[in-house]
Structure 1
Amino acid sequence: MADNRVVQGRMVTPKKLAELVEGESVMDAEPIEDTDRDCPDCGSDVISVGYMPSVTEFVTGYKCQDCDWSERDA
């Protein structure tokens, strides 16, 4: 499985995807995964990435591949 995915027309790495969700740089990110969720805004596919915004925190971020929607679960 490829590490990078196309999000809103741009190829992104797991770390870049995490930064899109977080809004700032992150320390580390796990491989991007598909979810069985649809975007609540546009109905497109949602992907997820686990990442560490800091040494003591692990977050799962969710991002629509086609629009600006995202959310995070700490």
Structure 2
Amino acid sequence: MVTPKRLAELVEGEDVMDAEAIEDTDRTCPECGGDVISVGYMPTVTEFVTGYKCQDCDWSETDRE
């Protein structure tokens, strides 16, 4: 089982400061159709990001504009 911080690091591609609990989403992966989970995290002191990661493949994205 992956921890929230580790999931955030997988989405971000580097270390993060803090992460909230992992949550299920009502989304499906656009690449493979698998289930997508989300995690809120702080990559820096002044930024909060929600990251989304497929449980079945390497696809991920964030809510950054």
TM range (shorter): over 0.9
What are structure 1's unaligned runs of at least 5 residues?
1-10
Cα distance between partner residues in 1 of 2:44 and 2:36? 24
Q: Is 1:16 the equivalent of 2:24?
A: no
Cα distance between partner residues in 1 of 2:23 and 2:63? 15
What is the RMSD computed on CA atoms of the aligned residues?
0.5
Q: Could you tell me the percent identity over the aligned residues?
A: 86
1:1-74, aligned counterparts within 5 Å?
11-74=1-64
Cα shift readout 1:35-55 (whole Å, capped 9, x = no counterpart): 000000000000000000000
Cα distance between partner residues in 2 of 1:73 and 1:55? 17
Residue 19 of structure 1 and its aligned partner are, at CA, apart by 0.2
Cα distance between partner residues in 2 of 1:47 and 1:66? 11
Runs of 4+ in 1 over 2 A off after TM superposition: none
Cα distance between partner residues in 2 of 1:69 and 1:51? 18
The SS at the match of 1:12 is: coil
